[in-house]
Structure 1
Protein backbone atom coordinates (compact mmCIF):
# COMPACT_ATOMS: atom_id res chain seq x y z
CA UNK A 1 0.00 0.00 0.00
CA UNK A 2 2.82 2.39 0.87
CA UNK A 3 4.53 1.69 -2.44
CA UNK A 4 1.28 2.46 -4.26
CA UNK A 5 0.94 5.74 -2.40
CA UNK A 6 4.57 6.67 -3.15
CA UNK A 7 4.05 5.81 -6.80
CA UNK A 8 0.91 7.94 -6.83
CA UNK A 9 2.78 10.87 -5.34
CA UNK A 10 5.60 10.55 -7.90
CA UNK A 11 3.11 10.41 -10.76
CA UNK A 12 1.28 13.43 -9.40
CA UNK A 13 4.52 15.38 -9.20
CA UNK A 14 5.22 14.62 -12.85
CA UNK A 15 1.91 15.98 -14.02
CA UNK A 16 1.73 19.03 -11.78
CA UNK A 17 -0.08 21.97 -13.29
CA UNK A 18 0.53 25.58 -12.62
CA UNK A 19 -2.93 26.91 -11.72
CA UNK A 20 -2.45 30.18 -13.52
CA UNK A 21 -1.16 28.88 -16.83
CA UNK A 22 -2.20 25.22 -16.89
CA UNK A 23 1.25 24.04 -17.91
CA UNK A 24 1.45 20.28 -18.36
CA UNK A 25 4.80 19.33 -16.89
CA UNK A 26 4.99 16.18 -19.02
CA UNK A 27 5.25 18.38 -22.10
CA UNK A 28 7.55 21.29 -22.79
CA UNK A 29 6.87 22.32 -26.36
CA UNK A 30 4.96 25.30 -24.95
CA UNK A 31 7.90 26.70 -22.98
CA UNK A 32 10.54 29.11 -24.28
CA UNK A 33 13.26 30.10 -21.85
CA UNK A 34 16.43 32.13 -21.95
CA UNK A 35 16.88 35.74 -23.02
CA UNK A 36 17.67 35.37 -26.73
CA UNK A 37 15.02 32.68 -27.41
CA UNK A 38 12.34 34.75 -25.65
CA UNK A 39 13.35 37.89 -27.56
CA UNK A 40 13.13 36.02 -30.88
CA UNK A 41 9.79 34.47 -29.91
CA UNK A 42 8.37 37.96 -29.25
CA UNK A 43 9.88 39.44 -32.42
CA UNK A 44 8.58 36.60 -34.59
CA UNK A 45 5.00 37.26 -33.51
CA UNK A 46 4.49 33.88 -31.86
CA UNK A 47 1.54 33.89 -29.46
CA UNK A 48 2.82 34.28 -25.89
CA UNK A 49 0.29 33.51 -23.20
CA UNK A 50 2.39 34.76 -20.28
CA UNK A 51 5.88 36.01 -19.55
CA UNK A 52 7.64 35.23 -16.27
CA UNK A 53 10.61 37.31 -15.12
CA UNK A 54 12.66 36.98 -11.95
CA UNK A 55 12.03 39.62 -9.29
CA UNK A 56 14.80 42.17 -9.04
CA UNK A 57 16.33 41.14 -12.39
CA UNK A 58 15.00 44.03 -14.47
CA UNK A 59 18.12 45.40 -16.11
CA UNK A 60 19.83 44.93 -19.48
CA UNK A 61 18.16 42.56 -21.93
CA UNK A 62 15.45 41.68 -19.36
CA UNK A 63 14.40 45.33 -19.35
CA UNK A 64 14.21 45.24 -23.15
CA UNK A 65 12.15 42.03 -23.06
CA UNK A 66 9.67 43.59 -20.64
CA UNK A 67 9.36 46.66 -22.87
CA UNK A 68 8.75 44.51 -25.96
CA UNK A 69 6.17 42.42 -24.08
CA UNK A 70 4.30 45.51 -22.89
CA UNK A 71 4.19 46.88 -26.42
CA UNK A 72 2.48 43.65 -27.53
CA UNK A 73 0.11 43.41 -24.59
CA UNK A 74 1.70 40.27 -23.17
CA UNK A 75 0.86 39.45 -19.55
CA UNK A 76 4.00 39.80 -17.39
CA UNK A 77 4.45 38.18 -13.99
CA UNK A 78 7.38 38.89 -11.66
CA UNK A 79 8.15 35.77 -9.64
CA UNK A 80 10.85 34.41 -7.35
CA UNK A 81 13.72 32.75 -9.15
CA UNK A 82 12.68 29.50 -7.47
CA UNK A 83 9.42 29.64 -9.44
CA UNK A 84 11.38 29.95 -12.68
CA UNK A 85 13.57 27.04 -11.62
CA UNK A 86 10.41 25.00 -11.12
CA UNK A 87 8.98 25.89 -14.53
CA UNK A 88 12.31 25.54 -16.35
CA UNK A 89 13.04 22.39 -18.34
CA UNK A 90 16.78 22.49 -17.75
CA UNK A 91 17.77 25.45 -15.59
CA UNK A 92 18.45 27.58 -18.68
CA UNK A 93 15.94 30.37 -18.12
CA UNK A 94 18.42 33.22 -17.38
CA UNK A 95 15.74 34.97 -15.37
CA UNK A 96 13.01 34.89 -18.03
CA UNK A 97 10.58 32.28 -19.31
CA UNK A 98 7.58 32.45 -21.64
CA UNK A 99 4.53 30.23 -21.93
CA UNK A 100 3.77 30.14 -25.64
CA UNK A 101 1.36 28.58 -28.09
CA UNK A 102 2.44 25.13 -29.31
CA UNK A 103 5.18 25.22 -31.95
CA UNK A 104 3.66 25.25 -35.42
CA UNK A 105 5.45 22.70 -37.55
CA UNK A 106 5.57 23.16 -41.30
CA UNK A 107 5.17 20.54 -44.03
CA UNK A 108 7.55 19.36 -46.73
CA UNK A 109 5.47 21.28 -49.26
CA UNK A 110 5.77 24.44 -47.14
CA UNK A 111 9.55 24.13 -47.28
CA UNK A 112 9.65 23.60 -51.05
CA UNK A 113 7.18 26.44 -51.62
CA UNK A 114 9.42 28.74 -49.60
CA UNK A 115 12.39 27.90 -51.85
CA UNK A 116 10.22 28.58 -54.90
CA UNK A 117 9.08 31.93 -53.49
CA UNK A 118 12.71 32.94 -53.05
CA UNK A 119 13.59 31.80 -56.56
CA UNK A 120 16.24 29.41 -55.22
CA UNK A 121 17.07 25.75 -55.65
CA UNK A 122 15.69 23.87 -52.63
CA UNK A 123 18.18 23.28 -49.83
CA UNK A 124 16.67 20.96 -47.22
CA UNK A 125 18.19 19.37 -44.11
CA UNK A 126 16.86 15.94 -43.13
CA UNK A 127 17.66 14.62 -39.66
CA UNK A 128 17.54 10.85 -39.22
CA UNK A 129 16.75 10.33 -35.51
CA UNK A 130 18.77 13.15 -33.95
CA UNK A 131 17.84 12.67 -30.29
CA UNK A 132 20.00 15.28 -28.53
CA UNK A 133 18.05 18.55 -28.30
CA UNK A 134 21.29 20.55 -28.27
CA UNK A 135 22.35 18.96 -31.56
CA UNK A 136 18.94 19.64 -33.09
CA UNK A 137 19.05 23.26 -31.92
CA UNK A 138 22.58 23.76 -33.23
CA UNK A 139 21.69 22.27 -36.62
CA UNK A 140 18.59 24.47 -36.93
CA UNK A 141 20.70 27.51 -36.05
CA UNK A 142 23.30 26.70 -38.72
CA UNK A 143 20.62 25.80 -41.26
CA UNK A 144 19.04 29.22 -40.78
CA UNK A 145 22.35 31.04 -41.12
CA UNK A 146 23.26 29.04 -44.24
CA UNK A 147 19.96 29.86 -45.92
CA UNK A 148 18.52 26.34 -45.87
CA UNK A 149 14.81 26.44 -46.65
CA UNK A 150 13.83 24.02 -43.92
CA UNK A 151 14.60 21.09 -41.67
CA UNK A 152 12.78 17.75 -41.67
CA UNK A 153 12.63 15.51 -38.60
CA UNK A 154 10.78 12.24 -37.87
CA UNK A 155 7.82 12.18 -35.49
CA UNK A 156 9.31 9.33 -33.48
CA UNK A 157 12.78 8.67 -32.04
CA UNK A 158 13.79 12.29 -32.48
CA UNK A 159 14.17 15.40 -30.41
CA UNK A 160 11.26 17.78 -30.97
CA UNK A 161 11.15 21.58 -30.75
CA UNK A 162 11.33 22.17 -27.00
CA UNK A 163 12.76 24.83 -24.69
CA UNK A 164 16.20 23.23 -24.86
CA UNK A 165 16.12 23.15 -28.66
CA UNK A 166 14.97 26.77 -28.87
CA UNK A 167 17.76 27.79 -26.51
CA UNK A 168 20.44 25.86 -28.45
CA UNK A 169 19.19 27.39 -31.70
CA UNK A 170 19.53 30.93 -30.25
CA UNK A 171 15.94 31.54 -31.34
CA UNK A 172 16.40 30.26 -34.91
CA UNK A 173 13.44 27.87 -34.49
CA UNK A 174 11.19 30.92 -34.70
CA UNK A 175 12.36 31.66 -38.25
CA UNK A 176 13.17 28.22 -39.65
CA UNK A 177 10.57 25.93 -41.21
CA UNK A 178 10.68 22.58 -39.43
CA UNK A 179 8.58 19.70 -40.75
CA UNK A 180 7.72 16.65 -38.66
CA UNK A 181 7.07 13.58 -40.85
CA UNK A 182 5.94 10.02 -40.22
CA UNK A 183 8.51 8.28 -42.42
CA UNK A 184 11.89 9.70 -43.43
CA UNK A 185 12.44 7.15 -46.23
CA UNK A 186 9.10 7.93 -47.87
CA UNK A 187 9.83 11.65 -47.53
CA UNK A 188 13.17 11.17 -49.29
CA UNK A 189 11.41 9.38 -52.15
CA UNK A 190 8.94 12.26 -52.48
CA UNK A 191 11.79 14.77 -52.57
CA UNK A 192 13.54 12.77 -55.27
CA UNK A 193 10.32 12.71 -57.29
CA UNK A 194 10.43 16.54 -57.07
CA UNK A 195 13.88 16.56 -58.66
CA UNK A 196 15.91 17.00 -55.47
CA UNK A 197 19.29 15.27 -55.16
CA UNK A 198 19.59 13.54 -51.76
CA UNK A 199 23.01 13.51 -50.10
CA UNK A 200 23.68 11.39 -47.02
CA UNK A 201 26.49 12.27 -44.62
CA UNK A 202 28.64 9.34 -43.48
CA UNK A 203 32.34 8.78 -42.82
CA UNK A 204 32.86 6.36 -45.72
CA UNK A 205 31.41 8.65 -48.39
CA UNK A 206 33.07 10.78 -51.07
CA UNK A 207 34.92 13.83 -49.75
CA UNK A 208 32.38 16.64 -49.64
CA UNK A 209 34.85 19.23 -51.02
CA UNK A 210 35.28 17.06 -54.12
CA UNK A 211 31.55 16.47 -54.62
CA UNK A 212 29.03 18.49 -56.58
CA UNK A 213 26.79 20.13 -53.94
CA UNK A 214 25.06 22.53 -56.34
CA UNK A 215 21.46 22.46 -57.50
CA UNK A 216 18.43 21.21 -55.53
CA UNK A 217 19.79 19.34 -52.51
CA UNK A 218 18.53 17.53 -49.43
CA UNK A 219 21.26 16.75 -46.91
CA UNK A 220 20.68 13.79 -44.57
CA UNK A 221 22.40 13.81 -41.16
CA UNK A 222 22.29 10.60 -39.14
CA UNK A 223 21.83 10.05 -35.42
CA UNK A 224 24.61 10.74 -32.92
CA UNK A 225 25.52 7.11 -32.32
CA UNK A 226 24.22 5.04 -35.23
CA UNK A 227 24.56 7.43 -38.13
CA UNK A 228 22.21 7.09 -41.10
CA UNK A 229 19.92 4.07 -40.93
CA UNK A 230 20.34 1.37 -43.57
CA UNK A 231 17.08 2.04 -45.40
CA UNK A 232 17.65 5.78 -45.47
CA UNK A 233 21.19 5.28 -46.76
CA UNK A 234 19.98 2.99 -49.54
CA UNK A 235 17.64 5.73 -50.76
CA UNK A 236 20.29 8.46 -50.88
CA UNK A 237 21.66 9.41 -54.28
CA UNK A 238 25.14 9.92 -52.88
CA UNK A 239 27.08 9.65 -49.62
CA UNK A 240 29.51 12.43 -48.68
CA UNK A 241 32.00 12.74 -45.85
CA UNK A 242 34.20 15.25 -44.07
CA UNK A 243 37.93 14.40 -44.19
CA UNK A 244 39.56 13.58 -40.85
CA UNK A 245 43.27 13.80 -40.05
CA UNK A 246 43.50 13.01 -36.35
CA UNK A 247 43.10 9.91 -34.22
CA UNK A 248 39.36 10.41 -33.68
CA UNK A 249 37.44 9.32 -36.77
CA UNK A 250 34.05 10.90 -36.25
CA UNK A 251 32.51 14.32 -35.63
CA UNK A 252 29.60 15.48 -33.53
CA UNK A 253 26.43 15.43 -35.69
CA UNK A 254 25.88 19.19 -35.51
CA UNK A 255 29.53 19.95 -36.33
CA UNK A 256 29.53 17.63 -39.35
CA UNK A 257 26.23 19.11 -40.50
CA UNK A 258 27.65 22.63 -40.22
CA UNK A 259 30.75 21.83 -42.26
CA UNK A 260 28.73 20.26 -45.07
CA UNK A 261 26.11 23.02 -45.07
CA UNK A 262 28.79 25.64 -45.48
CA UNK A 263 30.28 23.70 -48.38
CA UNK A 264 26.86 23.89 -50.05
CA UNK A 265 26.88 27.66 -49.43
CA UNK A 266 30.42 27.98 -50.80
CA UNK A 267 29.64 26.06 -53.99
CA UNK A 268 26.40 27.92 -54.59
CA UNK A 269 28.13 31.26 -54.08
CA UNK A 270 30.80 30.38 -56.61
CA UNK A 271 28.20 29.99 -59.36
CA UNK A 272 26.79 33.50 -58.96
Structure 2
Protein backbone atom coordinates (compact mmCIF):
# COMPACT_ATOMS: atom_id res chain seq x y z
CA UNK A 1 0.00 0.00 0.00
CA UNK A 2 1.15 3.55 -0.67
CA UNK A 3 2.56 5.84 1.98
CA UNK A 4 3.10 3.51 4.94
CA UNK A 5 6.87 3.16 4.66
CA UNK A 6 8.49 4.90 7.63
CA UNK A 7 5.24 5.93 9.30
CA UNK A 8 5.16 5.82 13.11
CA UNK A 9 1.90 4.33 14.36
CA UNK A 10 0.66 3.70 17.89
CA UNK A 11 -1.50 0.61 18.40
CA UNK A 12 -3.53 1.20 21.57
CA UNK A 13 -4.43 -2.38 22.42
CA UNK A 14 -1.97 -4.22 20.21
CA UNK A 15 -0.93 -7.27 22.20
CA UNK A 16 -3.33 -9.84 20.76
CA UNK A 17 -6.15 -10.36 18.28
CA UNK A 18 -6.99 -7.55 15.87
CA UNK A 19 -4.43 -5.22 17.42
CA UNK A 20 -1.56 -7.69 17.06
CA UNK A 21 -2.54 -8.65 13.50
CA UNK A 22 -2.70 -4.96 12.57
CA UNK A 23 0.67 -4.22 14.16
CA UNK A 24 2.17 -7.06 12.13
CA UNK A 25 0.53 -5.90 8.90
CA UNK A 26 1.58 -2.28 9.33
CA UNK A 27 5.14 -3.32 10.13
CA UNK A 28 5.14 -5.55 7.06
CA UNK A 29 4.10 -2.48 5.03
CA UNK A 30 7.13 -0.61 6.38
CA UNK A 31 5.69 1.29 9.35
CA UNK A 32 7.30 1.48 12.78
CA UNK A 33 4.75 0.39 15.37
CA UNK A 34 4.32 0.87 19.09
CA UNK A 35 2.45 -2.06 20.60
CA UNK A 36 0.69 -0.58 23.62
CA UNK A 37 -1.27 -2.84 25.92
CA UNK A 38 -2.11 -3.54 29.55
CA UNK A 39 -0.79 -7.08 28.93
CA UNK A 40 2.90 -6.25 28.65
CA UNK A 41 4.09 -9.83 28.21
CA UNK A 42 1.82 -10.36 25.21
CA UNK A 43 2.75 -6.95 23.78
CA UNK A 44 6.43 -7.84 24.06
CA UNK A 45 5.80 -11.14 22.31
CA UNK A 46 4.05 -9.36 19.43
CA UNK A 47 6.83 -6.77 19.14
CA UNK A 48 9.47 -9.49 19.24
CA UNK A 49 7.73 -11.40 16.45
CA UNK A 50 7.64 -8.27 14.32
CA UNK A 51 11.34 -7.62 14.91
CA UNK A 52 12.23 -11.22 14.07
CA UNK A 53 10.33 -10.83 10.78
CA UNK A 54 12.44 -7.78 9.92
CA UNK A 55 10.05 -5.06 11.10
CA UNK A 56 10.36 -2.30 13.66
CA UNK A 57 8.30 -2.42 16.85
CA UNK A 58 8.48 -1.72 20.55
CA UNK A 59 6.14 -2.79 23.35
CA UNK A 60 4.83 -0.33 25.94
CA UNK A 61 2.67 -1.16 28.94
CA UNK A 62 -0.33 1.14 29.20
CA UNK A 63 -3.89 1.24 30.48
CA UNK A 64 -6.73 2.84 28.48
CA UNK A 65 -8.44 3.60 31.78
CA UNK A 66 -5.54 5.73 33.06
CA UNK A 67 -4.86 9.20 31.62
CA UNK A 68 -1.26 9.38 32.82
CA UNK A 69 -0.57 6.01 31.23
CA UNK A 70 -1.99 7.23 27.92
CA UNK A 71 0.24 10.30 27.94
CA UNK A 72 3.24 8.12 28.73
CA UNK A 73 2.45 5.86 25.75
CA UNK A 74 2.50 8.78 23.33
CA UNK A 75 5.58 10.33 24.97
CA UNK A 76 7.46 7.03 24.63
CA UNK A 77 6.53 6.88 20.94
CA UNK A 78 7.88 10.37 20.33
CA UNK A 79 11.04 9.67 22.33
CA UNK A 80 11.69 6.40 20.50
CA UNK A 81 10.79 7.36 16.93
CA UNK A 82 10.95 11.16 16.91
CA UNK A 83 7.23 11.68 16.35
CA UNK A 84 3.94 9.97 15.63
CA UNK A 85 1.99 9.74 12.36
CA UNK A 86 -1.01 7.65 13.34
CA UNK A 87 -3.07 6.03 16.08
CA UNK A 88 -5.10 2.83 15.99
CA UNK A 89 -7.47 2.54 18.96
CA UNK A 90 -8.54 -1.07 19.37
CA UNK A 91 -8.54 -1.78 23.12
CA UNK A 92 -11.67 -2.34 25.22
CA UNK A 93 -12.61 -3.83 28.58
CA UNK A 94 -14.03 -7.22 27.61
CA UNK A 95 -13.52 -8.79 31.02
CA UNK A 96 -16.22 -11.03 32.52
CA UNK A 97 -16.75 -8.51 35.32
CA UNK A 98 -17.43 -5.65 32.88
CA UNK A 99 -18.81 -7.03 29.63
CA UNK A 100 -20.31 -10.01 31.45
CA UNK A 101 -22.07 -7.67 33.86
CA UNK A 102 -23.53 -5.49 31.10
CA UNK A 103 -27.16 -6.60 31.37
CA UNK A 104 -30.41 -4.81 30.55
CA UNK A 105 -31.35 -1.49 32.13
CA UNK A 106 -33.63 -2.90 34.81
CA UNK A 107 -30.77 -5.04 36.14
CA UNK A 108 -27.93 -2.63 35.35
CA UNK A 109 -25.02 -1.88 37.65
CA UNK A 110 -23.96 1.78 37.22
CA UNK A 111 -20.38 0.76 38.01
CA UNK A 112 -20.33 -1.39 34.88
CA UNK A 113 -21.47 1.59 32.80
CA UNK A 114 -18.82 3.84 34.32
CA UNK A 115 -16.02 1.35 33.77
CA UNK A 116 -17.17 0.62 30.20
CA UNK A 117 -17.25 4.28 29.25
CA UNK A 118 -14.03 5.15 31.10
CA UNK A 119 -12.11 2.58 29.05
CA UNK A 120 -13.98 2.16 25.77
CA UNK A 121 -14.97 5.76 25.13
CA UNK A 122 -13.14 8.21 27.38
CA UNK A 123 -9.94 6.22 26.86
CA UNK A 124 -10.27 6.72 23.10
CA UNK A 125 -10.93 10.43 23.53
CA UNK A 126 -7.80 10.74 25.66
CA UNK A 127 -5.55 8.84 23.26
CA UNK A 128 -6.82 10.98 20.39
CA UNK A 129 -6.23 14.14 22.40
CA UNK A 130 -2.70 12.99 23.22
CA UNK A 131 -1.68 12.41 19.59
CA UNK A 132 -3.53 15.28 17.91
CA UNK A 133 -1.00 18.04 18.76
CA UNK A 134 1.77 15.93 17.22
CA UNK A 135 -0.26 15.21 14.08
CA UNK A 136 -1.28 18.85 13.69
CA UNK A 137 2.28 20.03 14.28
CA UNK A 138 3.54 18.05 11.31
CA UNK A 139 0.68 18.94 8.99
CA UNK A 140 -1.57 15.92 9.35
CA UNK A 141 -1.98 12.29 10.26
CA UNK A 142 -4.43 9.44 10.60
CA UNK A 143 -6.55 8.05 13.44
CA UNK A 144 -8.52 4.81 13.15
CA UNK A 145 -10.90 3.87 15.95
CA UNK A 146 -12.58 0.53 16.60
CA UNK A 147 -16.33 0.48 17.07
CA UNK A 148 -18.71 -2.49 16.73
CA UNK A 149 -21.88 -3.56 15.03
CA UNK A 150 -23.36 -3.42 18.53
CA UNK A 151 -23.51 0.37 18.11
CA UNK A 152 -26.50 0.02 15.78
CA UNK A 153 -27.56 -3.61 16.32
CA UNK A 154 -30.05 -3.05 19.15
CA UNK A 155 -29.10 -6.03 21.31
CA UNK A 156 -31.25 -7.01 24.32
CA UNK A 157 -28.14 -6.92 26.55
CA UNK A 158 -24.79 -5.04 26.54
CA UNK A 159 -26.32 -1.55 26.37
CA UNK A 160 -23.30 0.07 28.03
CA UNK A 161 -20.96 -1.54 25.51
CA UNK A 162 -23.21 -0.52 22.61
CA UNK A 163 -23.49 3.05 23.89
CA UNK A 164 -19.71 3.31 24.25
CA UNK A 165 -19.23 2.11 20.68
CA UNK A 166 -21.87 4.54 19.37
CA UNK A 167 -19.95 7.24 21.21
CA UNK A 168 -16.76 6.22 19.40
CA UNK A 169 -18.57 6.75 16.09
CA UNK A 170 -19.58 10.25 17.21
CA UNK A 171 -16.05 10.98 18.47
CA UNK A 172 -14.64 9.97 15.11
CA UNK A 173 -16.99 12.24 13.18
CA UNK A 174 -16.06 15.12 15.50
CA UNK A 175 -12.34 14.67 14.87
CA UNK A 176 -12.80 14.33 11.10
CA UNK A 177 -14.97 17.45 11.01
CA UNK A 178 -12.97 19.62 13.39
CA UNK A 179 -9.48 18.97 11.99
CA UNK A 180 -10.04 17.56 8.51
CA UNK A 181 -9.01 20.82 6.83
CA UNK A 182 -5.74 20.62 8.78
CA UNK A 183 -4.81 17.24 7.36
CA UNK A 184 -6.31 14.91 9.96
CA UNK A 185 -8.20 11.86 8.72
CA UNK A 186 -10.23 9.86 11.22
CA UNK A 187 -12.29 6.74 10.51
CA UNK A 188 -13.93 3.84 12.30
CA UNK A 189 -13.77 0.10 11.67
CA UNK A 190 -16.69 -1.87 13.11
CA UNK A 191 -15.86 -5.58 13.28
CA UNK A 192 -18.37 -8.37 13.29
CA UNK A 193 -17.53 -11.59 15.11
CA UNK A 194 -13.77 -11.98 14.68
CA UNK A 195 -12.25 -15.20 15.93
CA UNK A 196 -9.27 -13.91 17.84
CA UNK A 197 -7.81 -15.44 21.00
CA UNK A 198 -10.58 -14.16 23.26
CA UNK A 199 -13.41 -15.46 21.09
CA UNK A 200 -11.74 -18.82 20.51
CA UNK A 201 -11.21 -19.18 24.24
CA UNK A 202 -14.84 -18.41 25.00
CA UNK A 203 -16.00 -21.09 22.57
CA UNK A 204 -19.62 -19.86 22.39
CA UNK A 205 -20.78 -22.16 19.61
CA UNK A 206 -24.33 -20.81 19.63
CA UNK A 207 -23.17 -17.22 19.10
CA UNK A 208 -20.76 -18.29 16.38
CA UNK A 209 -23.49 -20.23 14.56
CA UNK A 210 -25.86 -17.26 14.78
CA UNK A 211 -23.22 -14.85 13.47
CA UNK A 212 -22.44 -17.16 10.57
CA UNK A 213 -26.14 -17.48 9.77
CA UNK A 214 -26.53 -13.70 9.42
CA UNK A 215 -23.24 -13.13 7.60
CA UNK A 216 -23.16 -12.93 3.82
CA UNK A 217 -19.90 -14.82 3.89
CA UNK A 218 -19.07 -18.52 4.21
CA UNK A 219 -16.91 -17.93 7.30
CA UNK A 220 -16.47 -15.82 10.41
CA UNK A 221 -13.89 -13.07 10.63
CA UNK A 222 -10.21 -13.36 11.37
CA UNK A 223 -7.90 -10.68 12.83
CA UNK A 224 -6.12 -10.41 9.47
CA UNK A 225 -9.38 -9.27 7.86
CA UNK A 226 -9.41 -6.19 10.07
CA UNK A 227 -5.66 -5.69 9.74
CA UNK A 228 -5.93 -5.30 5.99
CA UNK A 229 -8.78 -2.81 6.25
CA UNK A 230 -7.00 -0.74 8.90
CA UNK A 231 -3.75 -0.72 6.93
CA UNK A 232 -5.69 0.60 3.93
CA UNK A 233 -7.20 3.42 6.01
CA UNK A 234 -3.74 4.45 7.21
CA UNK A 235 -2.32 4.37 3.71
CA UNK A 236 -2.27 7.09 1.08
CA UNK A 237 -4.64 4.91 -0.95
CA UNK A 238 -7.36 6.09 1.47
CA UNK A 239 -6.38 9.76 1.28
CA UNK A 240 -9.96 10.83 0.48
CA UNK A 241 -11.66 8.70 3.14
CA UNK A 242 -12.54 10.40 6.43
CA UNK A 243 -15.34 10.45 8.97
CA UNK A 244 -16.57 7.01 7.90
CA UNK A 245 -17.73 4.00 9.93
CA UNK A 246 -16.76 0.92 7.95
CA UNK A 247 -18.44 -2.39 8.86
CA UNK A 248 -15.93 -5.22 8.45
CA UNK A 249 -18.27 -8.08 9.26
CA UNK A 250 -18.70 -10.43 6.32
CA UNK A 251 -21.83 -8.56 5.26
CA UNK A 252 -23.73 -9.06 8.54
CA UNK A 253 -24.88 -5.46 8.45
CA UNK A 254 -25.88 -3.71 5.23
CA UNK A 255 -25.87 0.04 5.71
CA UNK A 256 -26.02 2.83 3.18
TM class by smaller structure: 0.3 to 0.5
Structure with a larger share of its residues in helix:
2
Structure with a larger share of its residues in strand:
1
TM-score by structure 2 length?
A: 0.35
Name the structure, 1 or 2, with higher relative contact order (CA <8 Å, separation 6+): 2
Larger radius of gyration: 1
